[in-house]
Structure 1
Amino acid sequence: MKFHKLYSDADGESHWETVDVALQERSFAPPAQAIEISEAEPVQSVLFLRLRSGWDEPIHPTPVAQKLVCMAGQVRVTASDGEARDIGVGDVWHMEDKSGKGHHTVVTSEEDFEAVIVQHE
């Protein structure tokens, strides 16, 4: 299992990284069988988001560290270093570029982009 991580370096440039999620088999919901599961991450809040088809925003940093889970549609997100990634259904995007140049997001699908956002702070 993997997710896309967008972060900013000390010079304020944003970059992409692919992160492998470590899973460990353990009992999670006894008496159910053991399952493969990651470590828990503390979260602050959960929100639902819709960006209408054709939506195109100016470049900006993320306001807080957060993960976005795409439920419908697709966006193209371009880091300030020029690398772009397409985020589509089932993709997880971790945003950590809270300072610096930020990123640009545009809805590339004909359908609206819908997601769940899990904020860490």
Structure 2
Amino acid sequence: MRFQKLYSDAQGESHWEDIDVELEERNFAPPAKAIEVSRGERVKQTMFLRLKSGWDEPVHPTPVVQKLVCLSGKVRVTASDGEYRDIGPGDVWHMEDKHGKGHHTVVTSEEDFLSVIIQYE
């Protein structure tokens, strides 16, 4: 299991990095059998987000550290260094590029882009 992290370096340039999620087998929901689960993360809030088909935003940094879990549709997210990632159903995008040049997002699917946002601050 992995997610895609977008972060800014000290010069404000945003970059992508693939992060592997470590899973550990443990009793998560007794009396059910042990399952593989990651460590928990404290969050501030969760919300649902829709970007309508054709939506194209100006370049900006993320306002807070957050994860986006895509439910349906697709977006293309381009870091300021020019590398892009296509985010689609089941993909997880972790945003940490709070300063600097930011990123550009455009909906590339004919359908709306639906997701869950998990904010950390």
User: What is the TM-score with the length of structure 2 in the denominator?
Assistant: 1.00
1:29 aligns with 2:19: no
Partner of 1:38: 38
1:28-67 to 2 correspondences below 5 Å: 28-67=28-67
1:69 aligns with 2:69: yes
Partner of 2:13: 13
Partner of 1:82: 82
Structure 2 stretches lacking a partner, 5+ long: none
SS at match of 2:22: coil
The amino acid across from 2:83 in the alignment is E
Q: List structure 1 runs of 4+ shifted beyond 2 angstroms.
A: none
The amino acid across from 1:88 in the alignment is G
Q: Residues of 1 paired with 2:10 and 2:41: CA distance?
A: 25
Q: Residues of 1 paired with 2:40 and 2:21: CA distance?
A: 11
User: What is the TM-score with the length of structure 1 in the denominator?
Assistant: 1.00
Deviations 1:35-75 (A, max 9, x none): 00000000000010000000000000000000000001000
Structure 1 stretches lacking a partner, 5+ long: none
SS at match of 2:56: coil
